[in-house]
Structure 1
Amino acid sequence: MTTLPPVRLRPEIAALAAYRQGRVPPEGGFKLSSNENPFPPLPQVAERVAAATALNRYPDGAAVALRERLAARHGVDPAAIHVAAGSVSLLAQFIQAAAGPGDEVLYSWRGFEAYPGLVTVAGATSVRVPNDADGGHDIDGMIAAVTERTRVVIVCSPNNPTGAVVPAAGFDRLLAAVPGDVLVLLDEAYREFAIGSGGADGEAVVAAQREGRLRNVVVLRTFSKAWGLAALRIGYAVGDPAVLAGARSTAIPLSVTEPAQLAALVSLDHEDALLERVAAIAERRDVVWRALVDQGWPVPRPWGNFVWLPVPGDTGRAADAFHRRGLSVREFAGEGIRVSIGEQESVEDLLLAAQEVVGSRQATA
């Protein structure tokens, strides 16, 4: 039953479905629906966060210490670093800064499910270019879709939820075709899992910006996935200071908490240990991917910390099969399901559920 609001809302907002998480797993099961890092926080991170006692004080709204640390890491001025409450907040800020009514925001689809809502909230129009056959970005299709109304182009590599990377050459070709006054957002939420993939790399963008090129491109990163700080909500952008200043103007003040900033700083101190965990997850992902291919799944080569199972039609039945085995997965109605790579103990049930689903689909084909 839908309850009408007692006040006038923007029609497009009233019709917009709120972002929702996947189902809660059964008791004793595994949550494989949110692409979270299955490892607990490093002890050093947990200790530093627990020791944060100034909870009655506002955080440093400029995140000076973290920005300076990240600036040194990327070889840029601190003004070229912007910190926000996760990459979704960054996306919202940049879209609102660059696009409004009558403007277009271009991205590959299926992509990250938050993109359409963020564009709608900004009052702009989404232009969705269907993924290619391998679940990646159709670069030629995206180039053809650029118009004089295009204000933002989002490139997600690895792409969520399909896991495909945007080849570096394809990304370069897209950048060459996009006008220099159009904002390009390179969403690299899962980049640490894609080392060696040959995909677009934000580090090359930052290097070009140090030379005064690609000033219209902003690289987005998050501490939620590989760094395991999803609960603290913190991410950052690297780009031209004037572009970042526009995003800061749209931000909710003081939204990045002090514990989040401290946790990010400590995590940077222990990057090697965290990257060992990333390598373990990537190895587990590849084992799962090969097993799924052996089962008969047409699974794109995954480069994030998840796998994409194309299930056109009754995705609910497929998700239920995983849930019966104690696994929550992310269902995209009528298209497929995304399964995060979680604890090692979840792998056997993941593959058993996948075998059940693909077997039933093959039997009815």
Structure 2
Amino acid sequence: MPSGPATPAPRPVLASLPAYRPGRPPAPVAGLTAYKISSNENPYPPLRSVLAVVREAAAGINRYPDMGNTALREALAERLGVGVGQIACGTGSVGVLGQIMTAMCEPGDEVVFAWRSFEAYPIVTALAGARPVPVPLTSGHEHDLPAMLGAITSRTKVVLVCTPNNPTGTFVPDADLRLFLDAVPPHVLVVIDEAYLEFVTHPGAPDSLSIARDFPNVVVLRTFSKAYGLAGLRVGYAVAPEPLAEALRATATPFGVNLLAQAAALASLEAIDELTVRVKDLVAERERVEAALAVQGWRLPASQANFVWFPLGEDTAAFAEVCERRALTVRPYGTDGVRATIGEPEASDRLLEIAARWRAARA
């Protein structure tokens, strides 16, 4: 018999994977209502119409869901003005991203992305056997597109562009992205990750679907988790050229998008007017928070997402600890900064109170 380990051994890459750290739940503090703004969740409960559809669909959970996500893909194609064959669905946008990596990458390939950006990027890259190539953000916490272009080599298979960027909230301008794509080799896939698209108000933000029509090496990645408030059901999708979309469907976990998720996503598309009102309310709350922080003296990157970014450096952990003592859970990122989700106005008020005291103590 061939020699080998005494027991089954997982792949060595797992030992070196960075850990994905989900937002912590709120810490209870006597006399205070606890708020969790450490995950970029929609604070509003599901719409009643969506809940009603989910309850009705629950009666059929003894059956497998439609593996092809047919009704959802048709509805998305009609809404977005693309072909049904261009849509691939998965378990949240991060699930679809995993499908992209499986379809595109082999051991030794490289994946270029900005850093700091979505923390799943190096994980899904390494799991595909590829090598992560992080490129530092600019001093303004934005994608450094010239540096990312310079990081592309003959081994690069995929480039990830997160706009608005998680966790800094900054966006990549349409004109800059087009110039970047003009210079990217046509065989390199560029993924425009738009998990926070619905919160964008800046007129210079990219029109990704138009870009995808002009550049056949572009995939657009979106989700129902944020603006649609379906984070707990895990459904996302990609808009891609048909051959690539077919490959993404082939690499998807069979029946991965469950029956309730498909029903809720369809119902949410039908209730888009109600959801748009909620998004506008969150954007207005974001603008209120940003304006108040600016008055306090904070100079933060302008956010186009549903969160704000405090680039606190070595003070990151201390700020997060102060928030926790006040029953407010935020998301610290090493020694880079703290991300705070825009949630209930009461949570925003708590954040503003803490931020004001922090500034005053260091004045």
TM over 0.5: yes
Q: Which residue of 2 aligns with 1:34?
A: 39
Equivalent in 190, 204, 211 of residue 184 of structure 1: 190
1:298 offset after TM fit, Å?
2.3
Q: Which residue of 1 aligns with 2:293?
A: 292
Provide, for residues 127-168 of structure 1, a one-character-per-residue CA deviation record: whole Å limited to 9, x for no partner: 111111111101111111111111000011000000000011
Q: Distance in 1 between matches of 2:358 and 2:251?
A: 45
Q: Is the 8 A contact 1:298 1:310 kept in 2?
A: no
| 25-34 or 258-267, which deviates more | 25-34
1:351 offset after TM fit, Å?
0.5
Q: Which amino acid aligns with 2:41?
A: E
**Aligned-CA RMSD value:** 1.4
1:286 offset after TM fit, Å?
0.9
Q: Distance in 2 between matches of 1:292 and 1:114?
A: 29
Q: Which amino acid aligns with 2:67?
A: G
Runs of 4+ in 1 over 6 A off after TM superposition: none
Q: Which amino acid aligns with 1:174?
A: F
Q: Which residue of 2 aligns with 1:274?
A: 275
Query: 1:314 aligns to what SS in structure 2?
Result: helix
1:197 offset after TM fit, Å?
4.1
Identity of aligned residues (%): 46
Equivalent in 51, 60, 64 of residue 56 of structure 2: 51
Runs of 5+ in structure 1 lacking a partner?
Answer: none
Provide, for residues 46-72 of structure 1, a one-character-per-residue CA deviation record: whole Å limited to 9, x for no partner: 111011111111100100001011111
Q: Which amino acid aligns with 2:295?
A: D
In the TM superposition, 1:72-221 aligns within 5 A as 72-206=78-212, 208=213, 213-221=214-222
1:359 offset after TM fit, Å?
3.5
Provide, for residues 89-141 of structure 1, a one-character-per-residue CA deviation record: whole Å limited to 9, x for no partner: 01111012111211110011100011011111011011111111111101111
Q: Is the 8 A contact 2:111 2:125 kept in 1?
A: yes
Q: Distance in 2 between matches of 1:88 and 1:221?
A: 9
Number of residue-to-residue matches in the alignment: 353
Query: 2:264 aligns to what SS in structure 1?
Result: helix
1:347 offset after TM fit, Å?
1.6
| 69-78 or 182-191, which deviates more | 69-78
Query: 2:61 aligns to what SS in structure 1?
Result: coil
In the TM superposition, 1:15-34 aligns within 5 A as 15-27=16-28, 28-34=33-39
Q: Distance in 1 between matches of 2:350 and 2:171?
A: 27
Q: Which amino acid aligns with 2:274?
A: A
Q: Distance in 1 between matches of 2:7 and 2:289?
A: 50
| 254-263 or 21-30, which deviates more | 21-30
Q: Which amino acid aligns with 1:184?
A: V
Q: Distance in 2 between matches of 1:258 and 1:8?
A: 35
Q: Is the 8 A contact 1:116 1:126 kept in 2?
A: yes
TM-score scaled by length of structure 2: 0.94
Q: Is the 8 A contact 1:93 1:251 kept in 2?
A: yes
| 18-27 or 130-139, which deviates more | 18-27
Q: Is the 8 A contact 2:178 2:211 kept in 1?
A: no
Runs of 5+ in structure 2 lacking a partner?
Answer: 1-5
Return closer, same or farther for 1:6/1:308 CA change in 2, 3 Å cut-off: farther
1:18 offset after TM fit, Å?
3.2
Query: 1:25 aligns to what SS in structure 2?
Result: coil
Q: Which amino acid aligns with 2:352?
A: L
Q: Which amino acid aligns with 2:157?
A: R
Q: Which amino acid aligns with 1:227?
A: Y
Query: 2:336 aligns to what SS in structure 1?
Result: strand
TM-score scaled by length of structure 1: 0.94
